[in-house]
Amino acid sequence: MTYDKNQIFDVLDNFIIELPSWAFGNSGTRFRVFSTEGTPRDPFEKIEDVAQVHKYTGAASIVSLHIPWDLVDDFSKLKEHAENLGVTIGTINSNVFQDEDYKLGSLCNPDPKIRRKAIDAHLKCIDVMRTVGSKDLKIWLADGTNYPGQDSISARQERLHESLQEIHDALDDDMRILLEYKFFEPAFYHTDVPDWGTSLVQCQALGDKAQVVLDTGHHAPGTNIEFIVAQLTRLGMLGAFDFNSRFYADDDLIAGAADPFQLFRILREIVTAGALSAEKNVNFMLDQCHNLEDKIPGEILSVLNVQEQLVKCLLVDEDSLIKAQKEGDILTANQVLMDAYATDTRPLLKEWRQSRGIPENPLQDFAASGYLDQAKKNRQGGQQAGWGA
Ligand code: PSV
Ligand code: MN
């Protein structure tokens, strides 16, 4: 179907992008973490910043937490704080990669005591989920080896399965595991969940409460990511996205900054698979770090970039496309798609914002609001939040 304006506005009304709490903390590379004045010092302040992104985009009312980065004494207080700001707590990300014990892995570690510790960390995440009302447990593991022979690849797959099974079976019926893959980093020889195939096979072996997460920065250069989207949506196994963009590795840059056409192609598969609908339950999350730029505008721009590409996908002239495809008219088919991609969707998005009472020029209006200056004044002292702190 080709969407008319009202239908496009309906899609935009329902398209929520979940923001990572860690995007609001300081981050950097292994060479340097730069700090910014006004950076949040705790999860409460991070959620205040999330609420700003939502205020200026109308599309970012959910925040994803990372445990233990976002540990607080009282999660019901954090939930209440979020709700007062119009924000919902969404996915809980487990973190079993920053403890000395996990040097040789977490859920795949050769030592059963360390595996126990890593499983328990996930069971704690499930407790947090119960308190905050979250349904999604996102698992990304840094597990792998650096040298051939360091450990048995197949034994590690078995350990992974056993560990995940225990976590899966501890979930409530309406919860799910989202298993994220990445083909490199920090392990250099092999990674235990390197690709969508491994994630899929592991999820399928668990039962019906596990799906795959696709982080756009976790593939070899040149990988056709939209093909993976098509395959996983076809199987009903795509649970979530971590959107970001990259020039070289897992750069975690602003979505749509490096390759807007790739973002368009990915979203196009989502649209054609009907995976925007609430029943498909695909979670559209950002997983980004703002090493240099201000974090709130960085997140606002990411949301706008995703919306711009999404609207282009909805503007594809479906009848002409199907006709050209049926007739084997390659160039017309390609042109129909490229016409939509070449459309400037910003005026339509501005109109949508006007009609919904959302600030017309999100980045400029946020800058003019003085929020960042105020945060700089208010957030003096204390320890700024950061990736890994
Ligand atoms: C790993 O590179 C990853 O993509 C996982 O999603 C982590 O949770 C996140 O980055 C941490 O920034
Ligand atoms: Mn990720």
Residue where the block lists tokens 């309406």: 174
Quick one: pLDDT at residue 388? Answer: 63
Distance 59 CA to ligand 2 centre (A): 20
In short, whether 287's Cβ falls inside 6 Å of ligand 1 is: yes
The predicted pLDDT at position 137 comes to 99
> How far apart, in whole angstroms, are the C-alpha atoms of residue 104 and residue 270?
37
CB 143 near ligand 1, within 6 Å: no
Work out whether strand 283-286 and strand 210-215 pair parallel, antiparallel, or are unpaired: unpaired
CB atoms within 5 A of ion ligand 2 belong to 215, 242, 287
Instruction: Determine how many CB atoms are found less than 10 A away from the CB of residue 214.
Output: 23
User: What's this model's pTM, rounded to 2 decimal places?
Assistant: 0.98
Mean pLDDT by 10 residues, the chain (389 residues): 93 98 95 94 98 98 97 98 98 97 98 98 98 98 98 98 98 98 97 98 98 98 98 98 97 97 98 97 98 97 98 98 98 98 98 98 98 97 83
Three-state secondary-structure class, residue 222 = coil
SS3 content of the chain, % helix, strand, coil (to 5): 50, 15, 40
Q: Cα separation of 309 and 373, whole Å?
A: 31
Count Cβ atoms below 10 Å from residue 296 Cβ, excluding itself.
Answer: 24
Taking only the tens place, the pLDDT of each residue in 150-180 is 999 999 999 999 999 999 999 999 999 999 9
Q: Please report, for residues 273, 331, 352, the alpha-carbon distance to residue 268 in angstroms, rounded to integers and kept in the order given.
A: 8, 18, 20
CA distances from 260 to 227, 228, 254, 263, 274 (A): 17, 18, 10, 5, 21
* pLDDT at site 2: 83
- What number of other Cβ atoms are within 10 A of residue 362's Cβ? 23
Closest CA to 235 of 219, 211, 207, 215: 211
CA 270 to centroid of ligand 2, rounded, Å: 19
* The pLDDT value given to residue 150: 98
Q: Using CA positions, which residue lies closest to atom 1 of ligand 1?
A: 140
Give residue 19 CA to ligand 1 midpoint distance, Å. 13
Say how many Å lie between the CA of residue 102 and the centre of ligand 2. 19
180, 193, 288, 291: residue to mutate for ligand 1 pocket, most atoms within 8 A of CB: 180
Assign 101 to helix, strand or coil. helix
Q: Which of 33, 70, 96, 140 to mutate to test the pocket of ligand 1 (most atoms within 8 A of CB)?
A: 140
State the closest ligand 1 atom to the C-alpha of 22, by its place in the atom list counted from 1. 12
DSSP classification of residue 238: E
Query: What are the φ and ψ backbone dihedral angles of 178, each rounded to 5 degrees?
Result: -115, 110
DSSP state of 246: -
Residues 205, 160 contacting (CB under 8 angstroms): no
Does residue 333 contact residue 44 with C-beta atoms inside 8 Å? Answer: no
Q: What does DSSP assign to residue 68?
A: T
Q: Is 6 exposed, middle or buried (0-12, 13-18, 19+ CB in 10 A)?
A: exposed
At residue 47, the pLDDT reads: 98
What is the CA(5)–ligand 1 centre distance, in A? 36
Q: What is the phi/psi pair of residue 331, to 5°?
A: -70, -40
pLDDT at residue 147, as a whole number: 98
